[in-house]
Amino acid sequence: MGPGWVSSGFIYESAPFPSCHASTLVETPSGLLAAWFGGTHERHPDVEIWTAAFVDGKWGQPKPVADGRVGSDTRHPTWNPVLFQSSDGPLQLYYKVGPTPRDWWGMLMTSADHGESWSKPRRLPDGILGPIKNKPVELAGGKVVLPTSTEDQGWRLHFEFTGPMAKEFRRTEPIPAADGIRAIQPSVLVHKDGRLQAIGRTRHSGVFQTWSRDQGETWSEVTRLGLPNPSAGTDAVTLADGRHLLVYNHSSDGRSPLNVAVSDDGKAWEAALVLEDDPQAPAGFSYPAAIQTSDGLVHITYTWKRERIKHVVLDPREFVTQPIQDGVWPARDGSRTTP
């Protein structure tokens, strides 16, 4: 707990699947909608995409909306749903289907009624995966930047583009990385001067960063941001007041704790809150999704021990922060804790 904490709870207490992961969150005119994948365990063919709606302060029952059936006799697991509501288009649900992240492909469904019902799934064009874990960002003029990555030839970032209706897609080439950094699952931040910054997960190189001055068409070399990362998913969002908020595991070797940091410039980060801290927890706390809703509050969902999806509400106007120096999270008693 701490300044800025509003509430927390689980999206569901019980469900017809034992394992879940990779939640995503969006605000619609009807309220919040969350999605995740759930099934026997990650990579099992019975893993489906599930959704739940948050209306009038309560989460509804989880509903299955997509599976990995291919034809009449083949079924693959589904992966990493991403919800996105453009300024002028239907609600979009991107997800992946395939045996593993090395050979999965992108899928897309749309909804005209805020997630109550969905279109027939369509496979994205060859070479297009859609947003790989974290939400797209719509820029002025309707250009939608889809942050994505591949794992079939090592961990590599690239970015894809579409419009509000998600009808046509194109992509960049892979983004070069310094010092052998292996990076995936970017989040896109929008700076006041128009620059874009992408940050996210690496394989044992801490949180990465890369910058664009031309609306995502080209990006700087991928480098380290100076914060730890235990090869676990992150998410970030640019707030209405211009600050940037990052949710990540401030750890080098485990998915606990789960932390919230904020920054004015995307380079120097300050500690805001610790959402979870239990190094003995099975599977830890991971794969956050973060959005700011129209009332100014921040909503975060994340995987809780691979058993449930937790939902936390924060008020970023109430944060009391302390600088993170040399990658060390400051303790509230004035001491400092190493990652």
Sign of the Cα torsion 30, 138, 120, 49 reads: negative
Question: In angstroms, rounded to a whole number, what is the distance separating the alpha carbons of residues 16 and 97?
Answer: 21
User: Domain-by-domain residue ranges, the chain?
Assistant: 5-319
Chain length of the chain: 339
Instruction: Say whether pLDDT at 273 is over 90.
Output: yes
pLDDT at residue number 309:
98
Helix (H, G, I), strand (E, B) or coil at 318: helix
pLDDT at residue number 336:
47
Q: Is 131 exposed, middle or buried (0-12, 13-18, 19+ CB in 10 A)?
A: buried
Mean pLDDT (whole number) for 179-184:
96
Give this prediction's pTM: 0.97
pLDDT at residue number 1:
73
Cα dihedral 151→154→157→159 (10° resolution) = -50
Question: In angstroms, rounded to a whole number, what is the distance separating the alpha carbons of residues 67 and 75?
Answer: 8
Closest among 27, 20, 85 to 54, alpha carbons compared: 27
pLDDT at residue number 339:
52
Mean pLDDT (whole number) for 135-153:
97
Share of the chain above pLDDT 90, in %: 95
Closest among 92, 74, 75, 70 to 83, alpha carbons compared: 92
pLDDT bucket at 335, cuts 50 / 70 / 90 = very low
pLDDT tens across 94-132, in order? 999 999 999 999 999 999 999 999 999 999 999 999 999
What mean pLDDT, rounded, does the chain reach? 96
Instruction: Say whether pLDDT at 209 is over 50.
Output: yes
For the segment(s) 5-319, the CATH number from 3.20.80.10, 3.40.50.300, 2.120.10.10, 1.10.3720.10 is 2.120.10.10
Mean pLDDT (whole number) for 57-83:
96
In order, the DSSP letters of 241-275 are: TS-EEEEE---SSSS--EEEEEESSSSSEEEEEEE
Q: Is 140 exposed, middle or buried (0-12, 13-18, 19+ CB in 10 A)?
A: exposed
pLDDT bucket at 333, cuts 50 / 70 / 90 = low
Question: In angstroms, rounded to a whole number, what is the distance separating the alpha carbons of residues 310 and 235?
Answer: 15
Instruction: Say whether pLDDT at 231 is over 60.
Output: yes
pLDDT at residue number 337:
54
Question: In angstroms, rounded to a whole number, what is the distance separating the alpha carbons of residues 2 and 331?
Answer: 12
Helix (H, G, I), strand (E, B) or coil at 184: strand
**CA angle at residue 42 from 39 to 45, to 5 degrees?**
60
